[in-house]
Chain A
Amino acid sequence: GDSVTQMEGPVTLSEEAFLTINCTYTATGYPSLFWYVQYPGEGLQLLLKATKADDKGSNKGFEATYRKETTSFHLEKGSVQVSDSAVYFCALETGGFKTIFGAGTRLFVKA
């Protein structure tokens, strides 16, 4: 079945460091891919998305490129801030009625 695998956390970085959170997927068909972010005590909110191969999603300095050949959708940011501390979820949706989530990666950014 469809699945999403994310790198395990927590990831701890200093402010202004480069961030990469790896995400790979297994899916039948051609999924849409998403990154969601969850701040403490809140629900998930959409960070960025990509709907077809080679699309790049971007928002708030975060980027991810839909790579069909490697079935990946890695999240990157050039310079993280303390306010980026949160849990990040990679997810896919194949056009049915179910969104499949990865386990989540917790990011801590130190000042």
Chain B
Amino acid sequence: NAGVTQTPKFQVLKTGQSMTLQCAQDMNHEYMSWYRQDPGMGLRLIHYSVGAGITDQGEVPNGYNVSRSTTEDFPLRLLSAAPSQTSVYFCASSYPRGERNSPLHFGNGTRLTVT
């Protein structure tokens, strides 16, 4: 009963390095999203996808890329890490957003530190 799986759990990067945060779900959810969590700011949406091959920007997309080649996977790429990207990153999935009762299912997060 895996749900939403995120890897790695922790990561330290130097400024300018790139990396990919992995997210996979086994619930056949069409909708997937990435949030970042910063103290006092709640969760802010980075990118989302409503199905394979379809992605769109959220509130804070700059510095991040996504792709959705399969229903199960939704990786988040940091192109050139900056200290401002130090945060906890959460992947979440749900049924199609047309179903208004459908809540988000979250992974356990990736804690990223950029030095």
* A binding-site residues for B, Cβ under 8 Å: 4, 32, 34, 36, 41-46, 49, 51, 89, 93, 95-99, 101-104
B104 touches A99 (CB 8 A): yes
Let me know if B42 is at the binding interface, CB within 8 A.
yes
Which B residues are CB-close (under 8 A) to A95?
A: 97-98, 100
A43 touches B101 (CB 8 A): no
Which A residues are CB-close (under 8 A) to B92?
A: 43-44
Let me know if B50 is at the binding interface, CB within 8 A.
yes
Which B residues are CB-close (under 8 A) to A102?
A: 42
B100 touches A103 (CB 8 A): no
Let me know if B79 is at the binding interface, CB within 8 A.
no
* Bound-state Cα–Cα, A49 to B97, Å: 15
A97 touches B97 (CB 8 A): yes
* B binding-site residues for A, Cβ under 8 Å: 4, 31, 33, 35, 40-45, 48, 50, 56, 58-59, 90, 92, 97-98, 100-101, 103-104, 106-109
- 16 pairs, A vs B, C-beta closer than 8 Å: A36-B103, A44-B90, A49-B103, A51-B100, A51-B101, A93-B97, A93-B100, A97-B50, A97-B56, A97-B97, A98-B59, A99-B33, A101-B35, A103-B41, A103-B42, A104-B42
B90 touches A43 (CB 8 A): yes
A103 touches B40 (CB 8 A): yes
A32 touches B45 (CB 8 A): no
A43 touches B107 (CB 8 A): yes
Picked from B31, B43, B44, the residue with its CB within 8 Å of the CB of A97 is B31
**CB of A55 to closest CB in B, whole Å:** 11
B101 touches A98 (CB 8 A): no
Picked from A4, A34, A45, the residue with its CB within 8 Å of the CB of B106 is A45
* Bound-state Cα–Cα, A45 to B31, Å: 16
A101 touches B42 (CB 8 A): yes
B108 touches A43 (CB 8 A): yes
* Bound-state Cα–Cα, A42 to B109, Å: 7
Which B residues are CB-close (under 8 A) to A4?
A: 42
**CB of B94 to closest CB in A, whole Å:** 9
Picked from B31, B43, B56, B101, the residue with its CB within 8 Å of the CB of A89 is B43
